[in-house]
């Protein structure tokens, strides 16, 4: 419920800032991190249908939106997103073939994201500080930052 309300507020604010009206919109396209199952898609489609009934709606994982933004709208290529989480997506055949890697959260599979890289740096610094690991400038940099 809270996520749905946040989405509605975000859409309304975007429309307001662009001096547009929802009545003029033909379609809402959502690129949602963590939107991975048919149930996820159906949930967001139902939110759009109830809050923006005059618009067609499309819902995809954010990796699809990122791919299309980098390929001029073509469903062909590879995209890797590394931020709070991480995901890789490869698409061929105009979208008919998709291979996805990661995007499962920090416990199950977001290697290469900011969290995992930061954690690896802190672990390496901890090992260097007590002699279990090689010395490196990393320890001094972390201590300078956080002491």
CA-CA distances (angstroms) from residue 58 to 27, 69, 84, 103? Answer: 8, 15, 24, 20
Residue 1 has what pLDDT? Answer: 81
Segment 27-69, tens digit of pLDDT:
999 999 888 899 999 999 999 999 899 899 999 999 999 999 9
Please tell me the pTM assigned to this model. Answer: 0.72
Question: What is the pLDDT, as a whole number, of residue 104?
Answer: 81
- Mean pLDDT per 10-residue section of the chain, whose length is 147 residues: 89 91 88 90 94 92 94 94 89 92 79 84 90 88 86
pLDDT of residue 23: 83
Per-residue model confidence (pLDDT) at position 108: 78
């Amino acid at each position: 419920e809270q996520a749905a309300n946040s989405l509605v507020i975000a859409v309304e604010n975007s429309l307001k800032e662009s001096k547009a009206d929802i009545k003029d919109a033909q379609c809402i396209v959502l690129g949602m991190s963590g939107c991975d199952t048919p149930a996820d898609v159906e949930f967001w489609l139902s939110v759009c249908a109830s809050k923006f009934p005059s618009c067609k709606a499309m819902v995809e994982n954010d990796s699809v939106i990122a791919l299309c933004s980098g390929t001029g709208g073509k469903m062909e290529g590879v995209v890797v997103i590394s931020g709070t989480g991480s995901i890789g997506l490869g698409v061929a055949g105009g979208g008919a073939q998709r291979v996805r890697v990661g995007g499962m959260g920090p416990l199950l599979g977001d290697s290469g994201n900011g969290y995992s890289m930061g954690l690896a740096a802190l672990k390496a610094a901890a090992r260097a500080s007590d002699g279990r690991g090689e010395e490196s400038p990393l320890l001094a940099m972390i201590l300078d930052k956080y002491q």
